[in-house]
Chain A
Amino acid sequence: MQRRDFLIGGALAGCSLAASPLVTPIALASAPWDTRLVVIVLRGGLDGLDLVRPYGDAALAGLRPTLIDPATVGELDLDGFFAAHPAVAPLMPLWDAGDLGFYHAVSTPYRDKRSHFDGQDILEAGVAGIEGLASRDGWLNRLLQAVPGVSMETAFAIGREQMLILSGAAAASRWSPEARLALSPQTRRLLELVQHDDPPFRDASLAAIEIAEQIAQGEGEAGGQADMMTGEVFRGDHATVARFAAARLREETRIVSFSLGGFDSHADQQRGLPRALTALTETLLTLKAGLGDVWDRTAVLCVTEFGRTAQENGTRGTDHGTGGVMIHAGGAVRGGRVMGDWPGLRQSDLYDGRDLMPLRDLRAPAGWMMRGLFGVSTGIIERAVFPGVDLGADPGLLR
């Protein structure tokens, strides 16, 4: 089905279609840029100090007596000071190739209340605080509003939950991997018949069938590629989402966002967190496999609402904190480095005496990345995409 089929001439009397993104005339154009962006929201508050462990900091062992084993912490050494969590070992080839990097001691501007609800809203809205949430749109959507040639295909929010990050005035699509649809040819024909006289229903139904078929196909193809490249096809929602994302990004889609959960590690962190980190690892590997040569033009950004307490708690876990780590990956990024200044882990170095001190607003490196990927001016980033952000110097996250 051609995109122009979305252009709907007549509508039922009294039915407002003016606001429908499906009838936006620019739906015919494709985005003028060729780079791809994947933003993954890590929900629950990823413990940056456990994913990217500052084992060169003398205070770490005392803060994390059960979470980190000093004898083995250096096994996945990154740069002599930091080491990676063992669960992400399969990502080390990406690190070695410069396709994976970390930015440590960053956070959103959100402080002190440490609520998931507010923290995620502020992360996705890209604003400076609670009062900025009034407009209820997301920073990726405001980015879309700042670039030309955006169509329904340009950006996809994938997953079960609504993604505030892509909500707003600009056209964007949404899909849940749970939304399966398999119809026999006869049922499909009859469905087209019963929707025929109601154009909005007809077009949405056709698009639904088309996307579902593409997913079914894409899963076969992407699965085959993963097989060749890694010897493994990953299972689970996260892998389905990643395969779907890769399939869309190989076509007209340029921006995808979805979320991964399971990072809220209050208790028995070394039982729960590895599951979430494995899902993240498999997601990145599935994206790479599915994207093929498009991977070279892709940047993946993984962000979380806050880091966690530096000191582990009484249940072998960590509680809601402040500073954390941001992950960048993809063939378009300049990885192989842990970026960011290091605040230290002594009691006096910590934020509020308990959390890793954030030294940079994560919106600043993210903003520079948007500038590099999409050519958006720093003025637009500071005013519209991330209102009030102090961009500072370009950290050079892209190749």
Chain B
Amino acid sequence: MPFDPILAEIRFGTGLSPLTGPPQSVAAMLRALRGTDHVARRVRLPLYSLVRPSLNDQRMASLARNAARGTDGLAAAQAALTALQREVREVQGRNLALTMARWAATGDGLRERLVGFWADHFTVIARNGGMAHMVTPFVEEVIRPRILGKFADLLWQVARHPLMQFYLDQRSSVGPQSQIGSRRDTGLNENYARELLELHTLGVDAPYDQTDVRQLAELLTGLTLRQDRSVFDPRLAEPGTETVLGETYGPDPSEAAIREVLGDLARHPATARHLARKLAVHFVSDRPPERLVADLADAYLGADGDLGALTGALLEHEDAWVPERAKVRLPFEFIAAGFRALGVGPDWFEALTLADTRRAIETPLRIMGQPFEHPPGPDGWAQEAASWIIPQGMAARINWAMTAPAKVVDALPDPRDFVVAALGPEAPEAVRFAAGAAESVGEGIGLVLASAAFQRR
């Protein structure tokens, strides 16, 4: 089967762009992916370990404000706290604008797609306002450098990360028989252990049971946070051995035992199938061919849980290149592809104020049903087309298509040219006709962006 650059950019990238041409071969795609991360150099996002204000900055400001109650210093202390809270919102707004900028401007769209895929796989949601600006930096520091590495390593880096520990309560899980658990009224929290098996590794249909969840939760005790940093605290760790999926760990609790179980879970055949299916569902079809899933799982297992091998196997599989575009662009992908087709460069995004970002990106995403970094739960965004092709979402997409482009570019392109820019030379005849028959340039552009052809990938 000859390589189809248009399909490659639409299915595996972030959409066609007049600024960067589509990839010319699978080898070129993989080469780009393994090469320099150009767009991350051009469009900078903060790393988690460097992002400010930190939780501690906010805590200190809050304490200072409380201490200042009833004194002359209250107004200044309150202003300092309020300024930090405003900075959190500013950083979060920039995170959204610049993430969108990367999607719009990249010459290596597959990288953004994979980062998005694994960030969704390891969904973390900021449970308090002071962490709202930290999700993107988590993705930048933990996910982005590891999309082609060993899954076991990614799993461990996520497991110990403060955002995941906050989100799924690992930081407050205490072994009932541990030094601290036997004295205080605290106990085991199974939340993370359960999602680790159900969502991050084996998958819900895999052969594990409540005993495995409980044993894994006990094995994970000790993994917690001190001063917002990940530590292993033996005083919280459940003593004795634990058995997960028939493998015994211990008897001495340790970080090494946790890494061992995560490694075993990462290399489990059920995990291979779960990840393979999920990747195929994301890129190819809500019901991917079993052959594709099996081949991807084999590639993953054969390479000792290597995500680069998994990605390569997907791109090299003929089932991944079926011409039917069965998948629907999620709202973020849709808006990004729209900006991209319009040729909007990084400068435009970098100049956005917080209010601009909300108007141009955040609010439309929310109305379309995908508020930025706020999926409904730890299972991330629904992938099925049926979840997104609903009247409200469609109204929001059509409205965006008709009204946003004129606010984004100074001079709208000729809709008859835009059809080709957005959909390629094989654009459907009906869309070509509509673009030419529209009453205005804006409506012509809008019809192209609102078309089913543009919303599928």
Is there an interface contact between A179 and B447, defined as CB atoms closer than 8 Å?
A: no
Docked CA distance A205–B447 (Å) = 12
> What's the interface size class on A, roughly?
35 or more
Is there an interface contact between A200 and B385, defined as CB atoms closer than 8 Å?
A: yes
Contact segment of B11-19, B44-52, B347-355, B430-438? B430-438
Docked CA distance A20–B443 (Å) = 30
Docked CA distance A345–B447 (Å) = 62
Contact segment of A26-34, A182-190, A232-240? A182-190
- Chain B residue numbers with a CB within 8 Å of A196 are 430
Contact segment of B54-62, B102-110, B142-150, B394-402? B394-402
Nearest CB of B to A140, in Å:
16
- Chain A residue numbers with a CB within 8 Å of B363 are 178
Does A63 lie at the interface of the complex (its beta carbon under 8 Å from any beta carbon of B)?
no
Is there an interface contact between A187 and B455, defined as CB atoms closer than 8 Å?
A: no
Does A195 lie at the interface of the complex (its beta carbon under 8 Å from any beta carbon of B)?
yes
Docked CA distance A163–B189 (Å) = 26
Give residues of chain A (37-78) contacting chain B, Cβ–Cβ below 8 Å: none
Docked CA distance A210–B395 (Å) = 10
Contact segment of A167-175, A247-255, A365-373? A167-175
Nearest CB of B to A323, in Å:
23
Nearest CB of B to A219, in Å:
15
Docked CA distance A209–B450 (Å) = 13
Docked CA distance A181–B400 (Å) = 9
Does B42 lie at the interface of the complex (its beta carbon under 8 Å from any beta carbon of A)?
no
* Most B-side CB within 10 Å, residue of A178, A186, A195, A207: A195
Is there an interface contact between A17 and B324, defined as CB atoms closer than 8 Å?
A: no
State whether A193 and B391 are in contact (beta carbons under 8 Å apart), knowing that A12-B326, A202-B452 are contacts in the complex: no
Docked CA distance A227–B59 (Å) = 50
Does B33 lie at the interface of the complex (its beta carbon under 8 Å from any beta carbon of A)?
no
Is there an interface contact between B394 and A205, defined as CB atoms closer than 8 Å?
A: yes
Docked CA distance A178–B369 (Å) = 12
Does B384 lie at the interface of the complex (its beta carbon under 8 Å from any beta carbon of A)?
yes
Is there an interface contact between B398 and A14, defined as CB atoms closer than 8 Å?
A: no
- Chain B residue numbers with a CB within 8 Å of A179 are 367, 392, 395-396, 399
Nearest CB of B to A166, in Å:
12
Give residues of chain A (70-129) contacting chain B, Cβ–Cβ below 8 Å: 115, 117
Is there an interface contact between B326 and A13, defined as CB atoms closer than 8 Å?
A: yes
Is there an interface contact between B392 and A175, defined as CB atoms closer than 8 Å?
A: yes
Is there an interface contact between B385 and A181, defined as CB atoms closer than 8 Å?
A: no
Docked CA distance A162–B374 (Å) = 10
Is there an interface contact between B447 and A191, defined as CB atoms closer than 8 Å?
A: yes
Contact flags (1/0) for B366-386 with A, using CB distance below 8 Å? 110101000011000000111
Contact flags (1/0) for A3-34 with B, using CB distance below 8 Å? 00000000011111101111000000000000
Does A271 lie at the interface of the complex (its beta carbon under 8 Å from any beta carbon of B)?
no
Is there an interface contact between A16 and B399, defined as CB atoms closer than 8 Å?
A: no
Give residues of chain A (205-240) contacting chain B, Cβ–Cβ below 8 Å: 205, 207-212
Contact flags (1/0) for B414-457 with A, using CB distance below 8 Å? 00000000000000101101100111000100111011110110
From A17, A178, A201, contact of B394 by CB (8 A) = A201
Docked CA distance A173–B326 (Å) = 23
> What's the interface size class on B, roughly?
35 or more
Docked CA distance A173–B453 (Å) = 25
Is there an interface contact between B391 and A183, defined as CB atoms closer than 8 Å?
A: no
Does B83 lie at the interface of the complex (its beta carbon under 8 Å from any beta carbon of A)?
no
- Chain A residue numbers with a CB within 8 Å of B396 are 176, 178-179
Contact flags (1/0) for B325-347 with A, using CB distance below 8 Å? 11000000000000000000000
Does A136 lie at the interface of the complex (its beta carbon under 8 Å from any beta carbon of B)?
yes
- Chain B residue numbers with a CB within 8 Å of A115 are 127
Is there an interface contact between B386 and A200, defined as CB atoms closer than 8 Å?
A: yes
Does B233 lie at the interface of the complex (its beta carbon under 8 Å from any beta carbon of A)?
no
Is there an interface contact between B127 and A15, defined as CB atoms closer than 8 Å?
A: no
Docked CA distance A212–B367 (Å) = 14
Docked CA distance A175–B369 (Å) = 10
From B285, B434, B439, contact of A193 by CB (8 A) = B434
* Most A-side CB within 10 Å, residue of B285, B366, B451: B451
State whether A16 and B394 are in contact (beta carbons under 8 Å apart), knowing that A178-B363, A202-B452 are contacts in the complex: no
Does A275 lie at the interface of the complex (its beta carbon under 8 Å from any beta carbon of B)?
no
Is there an interface contact between A21 and B450, defined as CB atoms closer than 8 Å?
A: no
Is there an interface contact between A162 and B452, defined as CB atoms closer than 8 Å?
A: no
From B385, B428, B448, contact of A15 by CB (8 A) = B385
Assuming A19-B384, A197-B428, A205-B450, what are 13 further A-B pairs, CB within 8 angstroms? A12-B324, A22-B386, A134-B194, A161-B371, A179-B396, A180-B395, A181-B395, A186-B437, A186-B443, A190-B434, A190-B447, A201-B394, A208-B395
Binding site for B on A (CB under 8 A): 12-17, 19-22, 115, 117, 134, 136, 160-162, 164, 167, 173-176, 178-181, 183-184, 186-187, 190-191, 193-198, 200-202, 204-205, 207-212, 314
Ordered nearest first, which 4 A-B pairs have the shortest CB separation?
A20-B386, A198-B452, A201-B452, A14-B326
